[in-house]
Structure 1
Amino acid sequence: MAGFLARRLGAAAVAALLSSLAVFLLMRAVPGDIVGQMLGQSGGDRAAEEALRSFFGLDRPLIAQFGDWVGATLQGDLGRSWYQGRPVSLMVWEAFLVTLELAVATLLLATLIGVPLGVVAGIAQGTRLDGAIQSFNLVGLSAPVFWLGLMLLVGTSAALDWSPPFAWSGPGEDLADNISILILPVLSLAVLQAAAYSQFVRGLMIEELGKDYIRAGRAKGLTPAELYFKHALSNVMIPLVTFMGLILVQILGGVVVIESLFSLPGLGRLILAGIQGRDYPVVQGALFFVVIIATTINLVVDLLYGLLDPRLKP
């Protein structure tokens, strides 16, 4: 187990480094001059441009700039926003708390909807009920998240004369308002993930119900409930743990669009604003944090899978 953990941590460190390098180079490959943008159209003072470029370290070679950023990051310093002057670590943490609420609520709702649908579809394979669930899966997996969120926003406004508030409150300030803000974003993200859950669990259930131990259980007189829920479903839960980690990473990937659509001050909106304003420290710090979170999720999932699956135990 120690060797496995060391290998995964090493792979995570390499992934974080390569991802950071890719973001660093892509941000600097964007056409235009960030210093000229900050000084404005009237910024013709050559001395001011050179001073600002030197202040941000943009006059140094790219490899030196990247080395400085890696060194500072290893010490826990993600730098400061070039526009706001605030510590990037604080901005990322504040945004992460919003994204965390959105991601956890989405994961819970998607699990509560998708897993039962998948179990029912697997048991009722080939029936009209299975067909109806498959139709839901098809629509859920095909509908773009942005389109679904927009339709929910327009639909609730037109049909119910209601739209969610757009003023997010800080932790502990106004929980009721935050919950009402999250309703439509969570639904927008959960439909896709619930459909993915349902499709995955359906396949696992069909596979399990076709195995010899299920036929042997029927021959012994076990009830359908015992076969489906005590035996088949218990075996389905092991690979489902791995899939849950994948779902959570996918949710983190989908928050950029949803947070922008519903004006949620989360990581996705922070990254998008940083890209639009070419605020290099904010984009690099936020994306680095996302990579660390995704890698940690995958590592935890692998460890849980090893603990739950008896075939992997020594």
Structure 2
Amino acid sequence: MGTPEECFSKLPVYFHNLKKHNPGIVAYIKTDSDDRFDYCFFASGCTIRAFRECCRKVINMDGAHLKGKYKGTILHEVAMDGNNQILPIGYEICPKETMDSWTWFLEKLHECVGDVEGLTMVTDRAPATVLVTAYKTTKFEFYWGRLRNIRDNVATYLSQIPCEKWTTAYFPTTRYWQPTGFPCGHVIMVLTHLKIDHCGHMTIDAYKIETYRRTYEQVVYPLSELSDWEVLDDLVVVNPHVMEIHQVNRPKSTNHIPSQGSGTKGKEEELTQATENQWQHELENQWTQHTEQQ
């Protein structure tokens, strides 16, 4: 593709040819008044269809830093297929994570998947993930107490939402069946008592073999050589975004979403001094020690 600058300039041509060879692909480029790059979004029509028709209605979101001359961040949304493997849905490239870049990303995602009943969005930026997945009320209450001590603002926000709306422990019935789509042990015991040996019909369609096969039945066609690409006269030539250069003693911009472990050190960071995964692991160890002492 050439230099980084040439890659930016060819991005509209690249997206045009992708859509030409793969009907259903969704691709957008947002630029400023000088045609400098702001954001771009890409989603495959195949995976959009697969998510809507074949997967549980759960979308995982995350971001990662990019290397290279112009750096930047990639935001991505993925689902999980019937074999619990990653199914990419959409991507955004942006200079950095901000409220505007995430908002634009989610707006484009909504254009792709539409209104999905029962849709759940998951992000590792939520410090209360362990609370959501705790199956027993005793374990939930133990974690809740720890969260109150180190993330009181998060706990205060969550306390305004009924627990049965967002926690597994307080789901009114079939706590395992509802969030996973698999029959829980109680259901299997009843079926066994009724002499029903096969429980496959009790799972949701996303886990059935025929559904899994349909997930990947469509093909994504690769592009031909660059020399064979169609170039339209009215396509914009995109210029790279302007890199931010922080001068000595100059305060940094605060209009960004801090990554894990970044930002000003406060009470939360001093207490954890670790990533969210480490924090969750520490909670699991504390719970294990707590139960052993009972």
TM-score (norm 2): 0.22
Of the two structures, which has the highest relative contact order with CA contacts closer than 8 Å and spacing of 6 or more?
1
Specify which structure has the higher proportion of helix. 1
